[in-house]
Amino acid sequence: MTTAQLENSINYPFAHNIETIVVFMILVFTYISLAVFFSVLILRVRKTKFQKKADALKESLNGLIMSAAFASSEEELTEIITQAKPEFVNKIKGLGLAQVMINEVLSIHRNLTGQSKHNLSRLFQETILMNYTLRNLKNENWHLKATAIRDLSQINAEAYIPKIEKYAIHHNIYLQQVAQIALVNLKGYDGLEFLAKLKNALSDWQQINLLDILRKLDKDKAPDFSQWLTHKEDTIKLFSIRLINFFQQSYNAEKVEALTTYENVKVKSEAIITLDRLRPGHLRHSNPVTL
């Protein structure tokens, strides 16, 4: 080997094997492409097969669901649920199919009112659907927990409120927000009890969500919202002021006025706006408050 050849072999050690390397890379790419193709094909086949199972399951249980929804008495509903329990157990196999039926029942439930809505809530809670929902609530995956909390809230499962309450102050903010909304849906004004224990900020978006539920309740039964004006967290002070404003609790005007000089600009501004609504013109006839 000449000096030039030796130098080339050092600088370009794979030059003489370039064709072999190219062929190898082509083979690897081909095998990977085939693997991806067959994986996608298998997934599609499985998805199609599962969808067929899901459609057949919904069709086979739809009669019982509709019979329960339109039962004319509690006795008739009890009889239908007694019939539905073994049917649901025998036909709903695995979490995937269970979730299909949970979604199906809840979808119908959302579009019903009055007695029919109550009937489907009972059907849900007294069949295996409830077992799967509680299993999701215990799952380590917080997405499944959140879904379970929403489902329990929708079917008005008041017996499970204690299981939801601990999540209203959970370190996972999304899970926390879902639980807070569920509690207010289930308990009304009493659902706000979590505010006293909450240590993190309550976002403006969450305040809007909570107020949207509260505005539908009987205003005459509203509690004294000033109880949270002394909270250490400013966003909860802010929410308290907004509630006092919305529910026009004029008896809290003095407590709100005390916050018109508060150091937090948002709290101060909201206090001024609220006081002006509770006592129109009061600020103009007293010492002016500047932002």
Cα 66 from Cα 46, distance rounded (Å): 29
Residue 181: predicted pLDDT: 98
Residue 128 within a domain: yes
Residue 1: predicted pLDDT: 52
pLDDT by residue (tens digit) across 37-96?
A: 767 777 777 778 878 999 999 999 999 999 999 999 999 999 999 999 999 999 998 889
Residue 200 within a domain: no
Cα 140 from Cα 146, distance rounded (Å): 11
Q: Please check whether residue 181 is in contact with residue 213, taking contact to mean a CB–CB distance below 8 angstroms.
A: yes
Residue 97 within a domain: yes
pTM for the full model? 0.80
Identify which of 146, 72, 79 has the alpha carbon closest to the alpha carbon of residue 114.
72
Residue 259 within a domain: no
Residue 285: predicted pLDDT: 52
Give the domain extent around 36.
20-138
Residue 290: predicted pLDDT: 46
Identify which of 84, 94, 163 has the alpha carbon closest to the alpha carbon of residue 119.
84
Residue 132 within a domain: yes
Residue 240 within a domain: no
Residue 11 within a domain: no
The total domain count for the chain is: 1
Residue 144: predicted pLDDT: 95
Residue 289: predicted pLDDT: 46
| C-alpha gyration radius of the chain | 31
Residue 30: predicted pLDDT: 80
Residue 78: predicted pLDDT: 96
Residues of the chain with pLDDT under 50: 5-6, 8, 10, 12, 288-291
Residue 121: predicted pLDDT: 97
Say which DSSP state 84 is in: H
